Structure 1
Amino acid sequence: MFHSLDRNHDGQIDVSEIQQTFHSLGVYISLQQAEKILHSIDKDGTMTIDWHEWRDHFILNPLENMEEIVHYWKHSTVLDIGECLTVPDEFSEKEKKTGMWWKQLIAGAMAGAVSRTGTAPLDRLKVFMQVHASKSNNMNVLGGLQGMIREGGIRSLWRGNGINVLKIAPESAIKFMAYEQIKRAIRGQQETLRVQERFIAGSLAGATAQTIIYPMEVLKTRLTLRKTGQYSGLADCARKILQKEGIRAFYKGYLPNMLGIIPYAGIDLAVYECPDFYVTLLQTLKNTWLQKYSKNTADPGVLVLLGCGTISSTCGQIASYPLALVRTRMQAQASIEGAPQLTMLGLFRHILSREGVFGLYRGIAPNFMKVIPAVSISYVVYENMKQALGVTSR
């Protein structure tokens, strides 16, 4: 396998040869991405890989061919923090023909479903605090949980989880299919897409998926915040919203949602192994750890991966949380008695004038709290589902 990558037969593998090999397998990576791969194997800092470095690297990670390596690097990890689920963005022609792609999507969807169900109480608490917490009531994590349990019992902590799980499959499928079609339209006669073109394709795919499933986001918020007996179920909630508020109610908060989703969806599908803003930073952290501390393998291990995932998702949430809070407030404000019906900018000004910048981060504490269990659960379930479905990572 080393000799198949050494295209000029000089006994060294360089960045261009790694890039060419990936391209021959239908995986189009940039020079910078090829450099990251090389860095994980190159131990003497020469920016080339000789036979000894190749042998030492793979002796503990035996693989039969380059295609298996590509498959592992692309599809080895899925992360879910209850809101953004990793969707593998590239599948080879062989994976498409053998049906491996849908098995990957099923494994990811199942991981997301179990992860979201396991962290649903914290997710509901986050939404509850986003809408109801203020300076005047000093609602905290413990008080919010106690209030929800007093109102509806332990089972009430899982309100809204059903539709949160239900929307995983259609969102992932629409996003993946839209990305494939948009890529094809942009590419034309080109062999590859440039990074900015992949970013555009990813952004449009994310926007397409969110536009189609957005009414489910509104229903999820309303069902999460409902009081006991307010709605008998999903259909009843949708019917009452339609009767009282009209069809436009299903797209309240759409603008801040798009402002948040478009850049992250672009990053999500524009960069290999970086399926969203959180995982983009995760990859950077992982590569830094590999270069500094890893001596024999390009696999940092579960604990390092989960640690990097926690840090990266925390940074991502800090950056995007104000838009998420405003979106949730807009989705919910019509159902709250006496709440002003404000636009996105009006709501931003209203929050800042009454509560300051801190008001834009109401509910972020339970959001932080759910990161580690959500990422851990999704990782474990994803790996087990892949085994059950016959999907091998290496």
Structure 2
Amino acid sequence: MTEELAFIGIDEIPQSDSYRVLKDLFAGTIGGIAQVLVGQPFDTTKVRLQSDASGKYNGPLDVVKKLVKEEGPRAFYKGTLTPLVGVGACVSIQFAVNEYMKRSVFDINKGLTGPQYYTSGVVAGVANSILASPIEHVRSRLQTQIAGSLGPLQMIKKIYSTAGFTHGIMKGFLPTAIREGHGMGMYFLTFEYLVKRDITRNSIERKEVPGLRLCLYGAMSGYAMWLSVYPIDFIKSRIQTDSLETPKYKGIKDVVRTVFKEQGVKGFFKGFVPTILRAAPANAATFYAFEITIRALA
């Protein structure tokens, strides 16, 4: 590993700040809200494609046309309240745990290596999946209801009354944990690498990295994450939008076997285009909002 890849350097994080965790949580929440507001239309399109086992949609543009025609433009923001609150909490956990790992488990003042940044992200992702799984489950069902008009609380009650907590509310937890773990590892590793390279090449402090470049690095981090975890996200969506009363899939292996038999490898990349289109703006907004908020709270 070269010196650059080893990320040798010191982040400007005051270790004696007793409000550090609260600041990380708050900044993460702001980042999560920004992510939802920017990315929700893309996410709705993605979920509609991923859950489309009947072949109703021919592609992303077909989803957009049919949503606008049949349900109106507001349909792109179906289920927004749940992620607006939930994703804000999820991103706050991701960033707070990641920062804790960097500061307290590893010593950031001595400089972290690539594997250490990746490990910090993995722990943050797995911790976040406990909350992300039920939130995304509810959101997915809200996004895919066509004739229904259930709100978040009504949907939660329906899921719980039909299948209970473990097989209902927490349906799809394992693929969520796998996606979040590896995905967040790649996510934070990529961002930190790009920021450290910028700091080293331009001889500046982290707080001096321009907002435009923060957005660019956030966008690249989003690409790194989704390119490495998309198939497991597809599997998660199939499980979480499956029938609660008479489920078609028994678990991850069953989804893999069924989809591969019916559609081949390309079946696992259904909905990939809107996801990649979403990755840049949504994650640029997330990292930019987090970094700017942290600077304001310093």
Structure 1: runs of 5+ lacking an equivalent: 1-14, 16-30, 38-68, 75-90, 268-276
**Corresponding letter in the other structure for 1:142:** L
> Would the aligned equivalents of 2:117 and 2:189 in 1 still touch at CA under 8 Å?
no
Q: Which residue of 2 aligns with 1:102?
A: 22
In the aligned structure 2, how far is the partner of 1:223 from the partner of 1:253? Answer: 16
Q: Which residue in the other structure is 2:77 paired with?
A: 158
Tell me what 1:391 maps to.
297
**Pairwise CA RMSD of aligned residues?**
3.8
Task: Tell me the matched-pair count.
Answer: 288
**Which residue matches 1:33?**
7
| TM-fit CA distance, 1:382 | 4.1
Q: In structure 2, how many angstroms separate the alpha carbons of the residues matched to 1:370 and 1:264?
A: 15
Whole-Å Cα distance in 1 between the matches of residues 11 and 99 of structure 2? 20
**Structure 1 residue 180: deviation in Å?**
5.5
Task: Identify which of structures 1 and 2 has the higher relative contact order when contacts are C-alpha pairs closer than 8 Å and 6+ apart.
Answer: 2
* SS of residue paired to 1:167: helix
**Counterpart selection for 1:221 from 134, 137, 140:** 140
**Residues 336-362 of structure 1, C-alpha deviation per residue, up to 9 Å, x if partnerless?**
x98723321111121112111111111
Whichever of the two has the greater Rg, that structure is 1
Instruction: Give the alignment's TM-score, normalised by structure 1.
Output: 0.61
Q: C-alpha distance in 2, partners of 1:385/1:174?
A: 15
Q: Is the 8 A contact 2:26 2:92 kept in 1?
A: no
Amino acid corresponding to residue 360 of structure 1 in structure 2 = F
Question: 1:326, 1:198 → 2: CA distance?
Answer: 27
Render the CA deviation track for 1:225-250: whole Å, top value 9, x for unaligned. Answer: 1224341x111111111222232122
Q: Distance in 1 between matches of 2:118 and 2:203?
A: 34
Where in structure 2 are the equivalents of 1:345-356 lying within 5 Å? Answer: 345-356=253-264
Cα 1:113–1:326 change in 2 (3 A) is same
Counterparts of residues 327-346 of structure 1 (less than 5 Å): 327-334=236-243, 340-346=248-254
Shift of 1:108: 2.7
Give yes or no for contact 1:178–1:208 (8 Å, CA) kept in 2: no
CA contact (8 A) 2:32 2:90 kept: no
Retained in 1: the 8 A contact 2:39–2:281?
A: yes
**1:92 alignment partner in structure 2:** 15
Shift of 1:173: 5.5
Q: Which residue type is aligned with residue 154 of structure 2? A: D
Identical counterparts, % of pairs: 20
Residue aligning to 1:315: 224
User: What TM-score comes out, normalization by structure 2 length?
Assistant: 0.78
CA contact (8 A) 2:28 2:93 kept: no
Distance 1:165 1:333, change over 3 A: same
